[in-house]
Each structure stands twice: as C-alpha cells, then as structure tokens.
C-alpha cells in the first residue's frame, strides 16, 4: 500500500468515526428529550392520581394514605381502593392492546383526543408536537409511516375513517 492509498483510507476511517460521533450525539439528545418527557408524564400522573375516583359518573377526591408502606410506583401514594378504581376518561372505553408497539400506541393516543376524527398529516403534526415522533428512526418518511399505521389500525378494526379523517373505535362502537 502506498502512502496516498494509506492517507485516503485513513481519511475514510476518520469520516466514518465523525459520523458515529454525530449519531451518538443525536441519540444522546433523544435520550435527554425522552427522559424529560418521561419525568413530565410521571409528575402529571403523581399530581392527578389522588383525584381519580368515579362515583356515579362524578369525580370526587380520594383520601390518600401517606404511610410509606402504602406508597405506589415512583413515590406516588395509592388510595386504598386503587386496584378497583375505574378510569374516568375515554381511555377506559378504548380497546386495550397489551402487545402494541410504541408507535401504534402513540397514534392511538392522538386519536383519543379527536373523537370526531383527524387527518393523517395532522396526526403526524400532533405526534411531533408531543415529542412522540422522536422515537421513530425508520427510513420511511414520518408522515408516510403515520398514514401506514392508520391504515393498518383501520384494517384491524381499531380505527375508522370518515371523510378522510381517522377516529378511534371505542369498545362501545366495536360491540
């Protein structure tokens, strides 16, 4: 190998290392963003948990036992009847998917907020605004991926489409 070839090979390796450094930095930024988002969600959950109880369709405050032996996940005090408390919002009416992917769950989350339906490009915009697009690293353009996921969910009977708008089918509609 002559010196010119060795220099060219060395430059190519240095470029590849620089690309790996950039990728590592991008991944670190995504991790920081996701950790911040996770902390925000946990804070909101902790703040709202004591309020969740349903009695004849009305919310009422739940007395929370602050005894350290009865504290739940992340230091969140759990009410005595936490296991039997139903969810108050529309999430309880949607079909539960224990094996769903994170991307499909993010799409469903957006659709829950738009019961009358939303267009695929608006779903993608909402996902970007909420930060749930940061987890997608595929080669397919993001908006196309969202459209594909909506179509897949529609074929599975989880989502309906009316006038170009997709909406989540609740358990009540499904039966």
Residues 43-90: pLDDT tens digits? 888 888 777 754 334 544 444 444 444 444 444 454 554 444 444 444
Q: Which residues, in sequence order, are CB contacts of 100 under 8 Å at separation 6+?
A: 108
Q: Does domain 89-175 have CATH number 1.10.10?
A: yes
Residue pointed to by tokens 């970007």: 128
Residues 110-144: pLDDT tens digits? 999 898 999 999 999 999 888 887 778 889 999 99
**How many angstroms separate the CA atoms of 160 and 56, rounded?**
30
**Residue percentage of the chain with pLDDT more than 90:** 33
Residues 44-55: pLDDT tens digits? 888 887 777 543
DSSP code per residue over 82-114: GGGPPP-SGGGGBPP-TT--HHHHHHHHHHHT-
Q: Where are the domains of the chain?
A: 3-48, 89-175
Q: Which residues, in sequence order, are CB contacts of 9 under 8 Å at separation 6+?
A: 1
pTM: 0.43
Arithmetic mean of pLDDT over the chain: 76
């Amino acid at each position: 190998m002559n010196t010119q070839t060795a220099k060219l090979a060395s430059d190519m390796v240095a470029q590849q290392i620089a690309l790996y450094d950039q990728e590592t930095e991008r991944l670190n930024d995504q991790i920081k963003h996701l950790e911040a988002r996770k902390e925000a969600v946990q804070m909101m959950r902790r703040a709202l948990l004591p309020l969740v109880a349903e009695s004849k369709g009305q919310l009422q405050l739940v007395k929370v036992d602050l005894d350290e032996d009865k504290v739940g996940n992340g230091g969140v005090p759990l009410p005595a009847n936490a296991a039997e408390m139903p969810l108050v919002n529309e999430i309880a009416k949607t079909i539960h998917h224990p094996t769903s992917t994170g991307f499909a769950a993010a799409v469903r989350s957006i659709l829950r907020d738009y019961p009358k339906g939303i267009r695929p490009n608006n779903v993608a915009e909402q996902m970007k605004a909420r930060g749930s697009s940061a987890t997608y690293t595929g080669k397919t353009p993001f908006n196309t991926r969202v459209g594909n996921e909506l179509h897949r969910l529609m074929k599975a009977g989880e989502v309906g489409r009316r006038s170009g708008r997709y909406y989540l089918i609740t358990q009540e509609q499904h039966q």
